[in-house]
Amino acid sequence: MRSRRSFLTALGGAALAPVVAVPRTKGALKIVSVEAVPVRLWSRSSQGRLPEFDGPYDPARWRYSGPYSQLASAIVVIVKTDQGITGFGFGAGGEAAVQIIHGHLRHLLVGSDPLNAELLWDQMYSSGLYYGRRGVFVMALSGVDNALWDIVGKYAETPVYRLIGGPTQEKVPGYITNSDPSVGLDLGFEHFKLGIRDGVLNGRAGMQRTEAILKEARSAIGPQRTLMIDCGCRWNDIGYSIEMAKRLEPLDLFFIEEPLSPDNILGYQRLVEEIDSTLIVSGEHEYTQYGYQMLLHHRGTEILQPDISWCGGLTALRKIAVMGAERGLPIIPHRGSSLYGMAIVLTANAPLAESFGTGDQATDLMLAMSSPYDGGHYFAKDEPGFGTEITEKMVHEHAGSSAL
């Protein structure tokens, strides 16, 4: 069995460097408009479909996340300036986040200097303390912050990843998240993650189904490739999670992701302490550097997994990456091979980049914010800002209400 920690050390890069100062060679810059649009990233999606439940105790009722979470709630924020520079920011929260941006955050932005991205982040975050701090508010903030950083890079005519220290690696090994390992094998991936559909509510039968599915996956990819699982918080019981980790030990899992509720930080601490056969990872659904401060204080994860479109944008993500580096922990952002996530993947201690668009039934909008992929690796783009190919026309062509 290979050492997971040595694997991380071998692939890891250096910690983030300070932000490079942007010379104001083009004069003052001012925001003139802010627009947020809910968008569809997949060509086929159940987004917006009303749920059907089989009675009051159907396990699906515990897993129904509605229209305001995950990638189904993606938004794009469009920030325009008086010099014709437009920033496109990837965020989430659907129509709820759009209302927050149009009704609240926009009034802090119009007339402001977008190059003061960190100042504006602090003002927006602080202004939402009484009702925000986590969840949809921070998803909305993420989209705005990412749009501001896109403007900063375009103003400086420099990729964002160079502004925050420059790349520590020219290419990053990718891993694919897909229920069918054959998709990743055909695309040349060496690292695979499967979503787990059964959890504590499905009892022993669910345990057996999970075991059978993962045995088949391990057989399909062979013993040398990396296998990981995402529990989607479905295990949500410490004893159940410990038993499952023991049952799955022969499969040599690299990590088990989000077995418990994100709020159960002490539960994650216990899993990290008691499970030695694999790594326990969390943080995809944690918010801002303040949330991560508590997660890391309690040693509730062995890899950091923030999502740049949910955690507070690049401003928060940089701080999270530094906190992890100070503790010797790597960072593998959720959907890190998006061009937004790659800004951190390229500059921090990130051994892997999760697939985004690769192997998906992706729209041209999703592909416009995806990193180049070849031979199992993701590569940087040397374009200003985040380097996306997003246009206003494309955003509005893929606009879709997330409200039910």
Residues annotated as catalytic are 334
- Residue 185's identity, in one-letter code, is L
CB 346 within 8 A of CB 168: yes
- Beta-carbon contacts of 36 under 8 Å, excluding residues fewer than 6 positions away, are 75, 76, 77, 78, 91, 97, 98, 101, 102, 140, 143, 144
Q: How far is CA 148 from CA 22, 45, 95, 226, 340, in A?
A: 13, 29, 21, 36, 12
CA 213 – CA 86 distance, rounded (Å): 46
- Beta-carbon contacts of 300 under 8 Å, excluding residues fewer than 6 positions away, are 265, 266, 268, 269, 272, 282
Instruction: For residue 330, give the nearest of 304, 307, 309, 352 by alpha carbon.
Output: 304
CB 159 within 8 A of CB 153: yes
- Residue 343's identity, in one-letter code, is A
Instruction: For residue 310, give the nearest of 339, 333, 337 by alpha carbon.
Output: 333
CB 386 within 8 A of CB 145: no
Instruction: For residue 274, give the nearest of 229, 248, 233, 239 by alpha carbon.
Output: 239
153-169 burial code (b ≥16 CB/10 A, e <16): bbbbebbbbbbbbebbb
